[in-house]
Amino acid sequence: MADSFPPDLIDAQRRLHETRTAYEALCRTLPWSVEPLPGWPGTEHPHTGEVTGGRDDSPGYTDEQRTEEARLRGLLVELSEEVVTHPHWATYEREAVVKARMALKEPPSAVAEA
């Protein structure tokens, strides 16, 4: 089925995957709050003394972090729209579209092995 997808759709899905990976990697490095905010203490368990919850102060995002997060988020929306609204999906029966979209998400090597 993978060879039946048009090259521009395959490319858009690949770029979407790469962008999502980059966005998730960026988000893992960002402070917990966009704006600077004070943290709060955790709660100590009465029997074990383990402290859970709570957060350190958040310095907020830098201008560079805000710009990059917004750029990647916008690109995710743009690429998602490109994939979902591609004219190729009109070539499938309604019930087959979901299966076809899932097949598009498979890496080419996995599709070739199937």
Q: Is residue 50 part of a domain?
A: no
Q: Is residue 32 part of a domain?
A: yes
Q: Is residue 94 part of a domain?
A: yes
Q: Is residue 48 part of a domain?
A: no
Q: Is residue 61 part of a domain?
A: yes
**How many CB atoms are closer than 10 A to CB 100?**
16
Q: Is residue 49 part of a domain?
A: no
Mean pLDDT, residues 10-36: 97
What are the E-state strand segments in the chain?
43-44, 51-52
Model confidence at 85, pLDDT cuts 50, 70, 90, reads very high
Domain that holds residue 15: 2-37+56-113
pLDDT for residue 4: 85
Q: Is residue 70 part of a domain?
A: yes
Average pLDDT, the chain: 91
Task: State pLDDT tens for residues 96-109.
Answer: 999 999 999 887 65
Number of domains in the chain: 1
Instruction: Please tell me the distance from the alpha carbon of residue 17 to that of residue 19, in angstroms, as a whole number.
Output: 5
With contact defined as beta carbons under 8 Å apart, do 57 and 35 qualify? no
Torsions phi, psi of 48, nearest 5? -100, -20
Q: What proportions of the chain, in percent to the nearest 5, are helix, strand and coil?
A: 60, 5, 30
Q: Residue 99 has which token pair?
A: 């299966």
With contact defined as beta carbons under 8 Å apart, do 86 and 9 qualify? yes
Q: Is residue 86 part of a domain?
A: yes
For 39-66, give one letter per residue: b (16+ CB within 10 A) or e. Answer: eeeeeeeeeeeeeeeeeeebeebeeebe
